[in-house]
């Protein structure tokens, strides 16, 4: 009797460990599959998410989540489900890129909710927006009063693009007759005390040059800095660690 109980206990323990291993394997496979799918579909799935993209992300999450706790769904079925759903989304992306007329139907189209300073109530109603929600979206773009706005376009991802009236526009350099100058892009060279060698190669500079510049500024090692960046025609900009471990701005 005791042997039978011990045998049953061992079987339960084995089943317990097997379940945990299965969940771990399926979670790892699901993670890799979703990561790969996200890379293939492109960054617009995150940065310019439409209502359909949002639903797609939920479905993909549900496919992986349900697969983890259903003993009848193994890794092959999990991968198959993610592959089919991902293929459908990818196919949709190809269709909308190749046939432009399908974009409005599949992804929606931007709508002008403010036209020449007047609120387009018809478009607001279509978008299920009220005035308070519209004002909230406008404030997020720096327009704190409706009288500042000449045009406002509700984009397919739910954000608003705003063109202010002339009186409220910020003056640009051309308006102020400021002489043009070359625009350059700053390049990070050190983060968290670590030299970014690839960035140095991109701007045709060496680590020896960087170390020499650091010595000129009074630093003996990149580890003394939390951040450093280079901009053409400007001195090296650095942010050192303080003695107490905090950051000097």
Tens digit of each residue's pLDDT (9 = 90 or more) over 106-139: 666 788 999 998 989 898 888 888 888 888 999 9
Query: Taking a C-beta distance cutoff of 8 angstroms, is the pair 146, 138 a contact?
Result: yes
- What confidence score (pLDDT) does residue 212 get? 93
Same domain, 6 and 59: yes
180 domain-assigned:
no
194 domain-assigned:
yes
174 domain-assigned:
no
179 domain-assigned:
no
Q: Which of residues 79, 103, 127 is at a domain's end?
A: 103
Same domain, 93 and 8: yes
Query: Taking a C-beta distance cutoff of 8 angstroms, is the pair 33, 58 a contact?
Result: no
Same domain, 39 and 91: yes
Same domain, 150 and 213: no
Same domain, 124 and 206: no
Strand 237-240 versus strand 225-230 pairing type = antiparallel
Same domain, 19 and 90: yes
State pLDDT tens for residues 25-36: 766 776 677 667
Name the nearest CA neighbour of 195 among 217, 227, 220: 227
Exposed (0-12), middle (13-18) or buried (19+): which is 149, by Cβ within 10 Å? buried
Q: Total domain count for the chain?
A: 3
- What confidence score (pLDDT) does residue 178 get? 84
144 domain-assigned:
yes
- What confidence score (pLDDT) does residue 208 get? 93
Query: Taking a C-beta distance cutoff of 8 angstroms, is the pair 127, 87 a contact?
Result: no
Same domain, 121 and 203: no
* Lowest-pLDDT choice from 45-54, 172-181, 229-238: 45-54
- What confidence score (pLDDT) does residue 189 get? 94
pLDDT band at 209, cuts 50/70/90? very high
Same domain, 30 and 96: yes
Query: Taking a C-beta distance cutoff of 8 angstroms, is the pair 89, 57 a contact?
Result: no
Same domain, 84 and 147: no
Task: Examine the pLDDT at 244 and tell me if it is beyond 50.
Answer: no
Task: Examine the pLDDT at 84 and tell me if it is beyond 80.
Answer: no
Cα distances (Å, whole numbers) of residue 238 to 74, 189, 196, 208, 245: 52, 10, 14, 17, 16
Domain of residue 67, residue span: 2-103
If you search the block for the tokens 């293939």, which residue do you land on?
40
Same domain, 210 and 158: no
Query: Residue 196 belongs to a domain with what CATH number?
Result: 3.30.240.20
Same domain, 72 and 156: no
39 domain-assigned:
yes
Same domain, 163 and 221: no
């Amino acid at each position: 009797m005791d042997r039978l109980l011990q045998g049953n206990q061992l079987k339960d323990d084995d089943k317990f460990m097997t379940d945990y291993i299965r969940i771990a394997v399926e979670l790892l496979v699901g993670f890799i599959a979703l990561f790969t799918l996200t890379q293939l579909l492109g960054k617009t799935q995150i940065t310019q998410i439409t209502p359909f993209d949002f639903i797609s992300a939920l479905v993909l999450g549900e496919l992986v989540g349900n697969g983890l706790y259903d003993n009848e769904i193994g890794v092959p079925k999990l991968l198959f489900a993610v592959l089919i759903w991902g293929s459908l989304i990818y196919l949709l992306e190809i269709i909308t890129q190749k046939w432009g007329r399908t974009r409005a139907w599949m992804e929606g189209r931007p709508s002008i909710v403010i036209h020449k300073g007047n609120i387009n109530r018809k478009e607001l109603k279509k978008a299920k927006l009220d005035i308070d929600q519209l004002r909230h979206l406008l404030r997020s773009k720096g327009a704190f009063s409706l009288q500042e706005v000449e045009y406002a376009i509700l984009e397919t991802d739910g954000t608003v693009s705003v063109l202010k009236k002339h009186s409220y526009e910020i003056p640009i350099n051309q308006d102020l007759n400021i002489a043009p100058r070359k625009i350059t892009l700053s390049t990070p060279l050190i983060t968290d005390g670590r030299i970014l060698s690839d960035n140095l190669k991109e701007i045709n500079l060496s680590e020896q040059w960087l170390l020499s510049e650091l010595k000129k500024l009074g630093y003996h090692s990149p580890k003394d800095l939390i951040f450093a960046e280079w901009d053409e025609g400007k001195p090296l900009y650095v942010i050192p660690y303080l003695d107490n471990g905090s950051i000097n701005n």
